[in-house]
Amino acid sequence: MSCLALTGGKPVRKKPFHNSVVIDGDEWRYVREVMKNKELSRFMGSPTRDIGKLLVMPSKDALNYRGQYFSFLGGKMVRRFEADFAGKLKVKYAVSVNSATSGLSTALGAAGIGPGDEVITTCLSFNATALSILMFNSIPVFVDVDPKNFCLDPRCVEKAVTKRTKAILAVHLLGNPADMDAILRIARKHRLAIIEDCAQAPGTKYKNRFVGTIGDLGVFSFQETKNITTGEGGMVITNDPGLARKARLIRNHGESVPDISWDEGSLSNIVGMNFRMTELTAAVGIAQLKKLDRNNSERLRNYRSLSKGLKGLPGLSAVELQEGVIPHVFPLIYDKAKTGVERAKVLAALKAEGIPAGSGYLKTMYDNPIFLRKIAFGKGHCPWSCHLYKAKREYKRGDCPVAEDLIKEKFIWFYHINRPNGRDDMRDVVAAFKKVFGNLAELRGRSVKTDLGYKW
């Protein structure tokens, strides 16, 4: 085997991998239409009285509605993107937002989550999952993950339920669906809402149902690294007209809509939000949604190619995809006990070969000063100090050992399985891994400067 690039050899690859942004004539056509019409956002100021049926109108019907106050639901591109998205996932309502973070907060707010309420969620996700819970002064309760799918472990969820628990926020991590049958049983038993974070899983199915359509609300991301990308943006979906109504109000300055006749439940959680998507963003989204199936099929093909090519390498195992799963990245499980080499050295060697592999998340969500020190709003430990939350909640390292072990020792992620990266690119990945794992003895005896961070 040739000398490792990390120690002066020639790297397998110098060419950078493609990012997730795949643009063609469709995006330009819709964007030009927006610019030609000079309508960058058609959301209008909210009316001062109830707008009735518009708030619960299914997205496919809202597309062509031209009655009074139609602009409360946005412009032509926004409503078309919502109608297309709802049709794709076979739900009644799709509510676009300016980010998936906003979407998660919107979904929680629509479900009536508020001060003093606990929301059970995974410890293994991007920070936005947990921070969205804080938006309405609710309390995140972190639980460990199942090592088979890296999603919520239902046994841990059940143990975490208290009289203050109001919702479960399940994350379908890396495209893998959580065990929704078990989570549904827990939710029904304790009368809890279920919100699905599908940021990394558009197109994934759980027992022939799209993720996001199983719980009460589903939330998707269109951030630049995602399977559908508009730069920033998100979508909230549901089949419940009441939840759609509240989500639309939260999204668009809903506090200016009600009159004195509204009851307390209708008024709650619609204060001061502007989570609206622009027409330009929606225009890109319309074109991107058309590419989803092709993009997903390419991710799946690249994933399978890597799984086959890396089979048999010592201390390395690919995660077997379950039926219906669309992968977001390519995760591997590394076992130092079988190689005698620290994972950080392996990652450094791969990067030197031109392969941008990483460790995934650098820490669990609770291993963040916001949670360790409970400092969110102001300096008075709000919302944990809220008089409506009559409990003591502490977060500390070691709370979720399975997730911490994955992050600190076992995860190796390769990020670029997206189109237009293809067969030749995957061959380079396989060649680099084989080169590194064929020279593990060279890594054992060397001091290597390591950096687990990775810039997408």
What contacts 71, CB < 8 A, 6 or more positions away? Answer: 42, 43, 44
How many Å apart are CA 195 and CA 185, to the nearest integer?
14
Residue 395 burial (10 A CB sphere; 0-12, 13-18, 19+): buried
Q: What are phi and psi of 404, to 5 degrees?
A: -65, -35
What the block records as the tokens of 7 is 């120690």
Cα 443 off chain centre by: 35
Q: Angle 100-110/127-134 helices, nearest 10 degrees? A: 40
Cα dihedral 376, 377, 379, 383 in deg (nearest 10)? -80
Say if strands 193-197 and 234-238 run parallel, antiparallel, or are unpaired.
unpaired
How many Å apart are CA 74 and CA 83, to the nearest integer?
12
CB 138 within 8 A of CB 108: yes
What the block records as the tokens of 326 is 């669309």
How many Å apart are CA 173 and CA 155, to the nearest integer?
18
Cα dihedral 253, 256, 259, 262 in deg (nearest 10)? 20
CB 449 within 8 A of CB 6: no
Catalytic-residue membership of 226: yes
Taking phi over 0 as left and psi of -120 to 50 as alpha, with beta for the rest, 43 belongs to beta
How many Å apart are CA 246 and CA 136, to the nearest integer?
14
Instruction: Name the residue among 63, 98, 174 with its Cα closest to residue 406.
Output: 174
Say if strands 139-143 and 93-97 run parallel, antiparallel, or are unpaired.
unpaired
How many Å apart are CA 353 and CA 187, to the nearest integer?
47
How many Å apart are CA 114 and CA 236, to the nearest integer?
19
DSSP code per residue over 249-262: HHHBTGGGS--TT-
Catalytic residue among 226, 246, 291, 410: 226
Active site members: 226
